[in-house]
Amino acid sequence: MARRLISSGSTFEKSIGYSRAVVDGDWVFVSGTTGFDYSNMTIQDNAVAQCEQALKNIAAALKQADSSFADVVRVHYLMTSAADFERCWPAMGKAFGEVRPAATMMVVGLADSRMKIEIEVTALRRKKTGRKAAPRKKIVKAVRRKK
């Protein structure tokens, strides 16, 4: 399968020279994604609102890659304040609670002082065959009969 580049339409992608996501085989690599609403290039001041918007942006990129949060195997949270992390847990849990990918949270400085969170994910797309998985073989133990 050829490598495919996915864009969100963000002006950052063209200016800086990157893709929102890259699909390579069954792997999907989503770039660090902030809480900007790319339709109007605005960002809210609240960390929780930014987290929710970043997750919406990631969901859109995953959808374009024929993937979803269910396929995410790793997530990196980059935050400007550790105090905001716990406040974002409900939004994070809604996206990843059942999936439970490997995760890392780091407190960092971000490129724009308005940004409070950046989220990066890696997903491994599951094969969609349209048929049920083959049944597992039953292990039968041989039992000796006593005479």
Residue of 129 and 13 predicted with greater confidence: 13
Is the model's pLDDT at 57 over the cut of 90? yes
First to last CA, the chain: 61
Q: Which two tokens stand for residue 23?
A: 């699909």
Q: What is the mean pLDDT of residues 35-53?
A: 95
Is the model's pLDDT at 130 over the cut of 70? no
1 pLDDT band (50/70/90 cuts)? low
Reference 4, options 125, 95, 101; nearest CA is 125
- Comparing 19-23, 38-42, 70-74, 84-88, the range with the smallest average pLDDT is 38-42
Q: What pLDDT is stored for residue 10 in this prediction?
A: 78
Q: Which two tokens stand for residue 140?
A: 């039968």
Q: What pLDDT is stored for residue 124 in this prediction?
A: 98
- Taking only the tens place, the pLDDT of each residue in 75-127 is 999 999 999 999 999 999 999 999 999 999 999 999 999 999 999 999 999 87
Its pTM stands at 0.82
146 pLDDT band (50/70/90 cuts)? low
Distance of CA 136 to the CA centre of its chain: 31
Burial profile 113-135: b = 16 or more Cβ within 10 angstroms, e = fewer: eebbbbbbbbbebeeeeeeeeee
Residue of 23 and 140 predicted with greater confidence: 23
Q: Which two tokens stand for residue 37?
A: 């609403």
Is residue 19 exposed (0-12), middle (13-18) or buried (19+ Cβ within 10 Å)? middle
